[in-house]
């Protein structure tokens, strides 16, 4: 049973890396993987460090805030890229999809702490900011038609 679960986790992680190469140009797929693995975590850690001490009052709230900050950094980087370059339409979709699949693999990776609730709270924080931001953006697009 545990072996099958580990195989599923590895396949989900591999799928999150391979999918952008199938549906986007090579340069944008490489940039997407670089953004999700290097740029977004580093920038979010730099933004998250000042808030860690004041929010230490409730330690269960810290992963949620971390996920919100990662979502904000990903959204801002996408907006910056789309303002300066012609970004493929599937770029943001795969940015969110790759983060989600990687985070789900982290949730179920450690079998001793199965499931990892800290990583699950971080994923909830990511979507907690992403869904309202996308809703506001779609409402703006609907109004300005």
Structure tokens at 75: 């959204």
Number of domains in the chain: 1
Distance between CA atoms of 80 and 3, rounded to whole angstroms? 42
9 and 119 Cβ atoms separated by less than 8 Å? no
Closest CA to 87 of 27, 15, 16, 22: 27
> Residue 41 is part of which domain span?
2-143
Q: With contact defined as beta carbons under 8 Å apart, do 117 and 59 qualify?
A: no
The CA distance from 73 to 88, in Å, is: 19
pTM above 0.95, yes or no: no
pLDDT along the chain (145 residues), means of 10: 71 84 93 92 88 70 86 92 91 90 80 77 90 88 82
């Amino acid at each position: 049973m545990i072996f099958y679960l580990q195989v599923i986790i590895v396949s989900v992680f591999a799928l999150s890396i391979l999918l952008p190469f199938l549906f986007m140009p090579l340069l944008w797929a490489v940039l997407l993987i670089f953004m999700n693995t290097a740029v977004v975590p580093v920038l979010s850690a730099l933004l998250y460090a000042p808030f860690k001490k004041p929010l230490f009052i409730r330690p269960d709230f810290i992963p949620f805030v971390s996920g919100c900050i990662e979502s904000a950094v990903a959204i801002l980087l996408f907006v910056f890229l789309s303002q300066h370059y012609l970004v493929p339409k599937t770029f943001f979709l795969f940015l969110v999809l790759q983060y989600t699949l990687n985070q789900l693999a982290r949730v179920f990776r450690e079998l001793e702490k199965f499931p990892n609730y800290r990583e699950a709270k971080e994923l909830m924080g990511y979507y907690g900011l992403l869904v309202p931001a996308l809703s506001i953006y779609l409402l703006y697009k609907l109004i300005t038609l």
